[in-house]
């Protein structure tokens, strides 16, 4: 049981918002539009002809979610696969100056994409979709989830990485 109003419940709310989004899952799963190295043609990831990925009754959906959207920051498994992946984890927690009730909690959303997905500005498309879903929304904490910063970071071989930082106000107790 997750305690309501806890940091765990806030991270769970963000996670639930991301895993329920069809467009985000398509961007994390389907290859870019065009021909791959084997000569197979792939439509745009958002093409209506592709299968709907969000079906919470389907076991394949949960395998996909477990593989592509992760609470935490374990990246060692990236070297074994070629995929797009999102990690959600805690950043710094700081008190709000002269406020004995509120602290500021950072949320990190880290995006990794394999180079095979990099032909269609995939990291930007995923970033834009995540911002549409959670930025300036009343999803977690007190008030809205604020965008703080975004920066490219060092990534494993054959991958690109982009780290987004958000902040939310939370109760100190």
Do 87 and 73 meet the contact criterion of CB atoms below 8 Å apart?
yes
- The model carries a pTM of 0.90
**Calculated CA dihedral for residues 156, 64, 18, 43, nearest 10 degrees:** 80
Using alpha carbons, list the distances in angstroms from residue 80 to 37, 76, 124, 158.
Answer: 19, 8, 24, 11
| Torsions phi, psi for 136 (to 5 deg) | 60, 25
> CA nearest 169: which of 94, 110, 98, 109?
94
| Number of residues that make up the chain | 173
Distance CA 141, CA 134 (A): 12
Best mean pLDDT range from 37-46, 72-81, 121-130: 121-130
Distance CA 86, CA 14 (A): 12
Beta strands in 55-120 (DSSP E): 69-71, 84-95, 102-114
Which stretches within the chain are classed as H helix? Answer: 7-19, 22-29, 59-68, 122-134
- pLDDT at position 145 over 70: yes
Each residue's pLDDT tens digit, 23-50: 999 999 999 988 877 888 888 999 998 8
- Return the bridge partners of 166, or none: 107, 147
Measured distance between the N- and C-terminal CA atoms of the chain, rounded to whole angstroms: 18
Share of the chain above pLDDT 70, in %: 95
What's the whole-number average pLDDT of the chain?
Answer: 88
Report the topology of domain 7-171. Answer: STM4215-like (3.30.2000)
Distance CA 73, CA 69 (A): 10
């Amino acid at each position: 049981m997750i305690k309501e109003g806890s940091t765990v419940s806030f991270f769970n709310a963000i996670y639930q918002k991301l895993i329920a989004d069809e467009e985000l899952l398509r961007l994390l799963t389907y290859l870019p539009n065009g021909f791959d190295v084997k000569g197979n043609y792939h439509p745009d990831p958002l093409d209506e002809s592709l299968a709907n990925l969000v079906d919470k009754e389907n076991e394949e959906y949960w395998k996909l979610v477990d593989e592509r959207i992760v609470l935490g920051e374990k990246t060692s498994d990236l070297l074994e696969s070629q995929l797009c992946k999102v990690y959600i984890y805690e950043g710094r927690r700081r008190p709000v100056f002269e406020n004995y009730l509120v602290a500021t909690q950072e949320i990190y959303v880290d995006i990794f994409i394999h180079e095979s997905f990099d032909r269609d500005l995939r990291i930007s498309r995923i970033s834009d979709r995540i911002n549409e879903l959670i930025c300036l929304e009343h999803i977690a904490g007190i008030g809205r989830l604020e965008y703080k910063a975004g920066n490219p970071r060092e990534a494993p071989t054959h991958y690109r990485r982009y780290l987004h930082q958000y902040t939310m106000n939370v109760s100190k107790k």
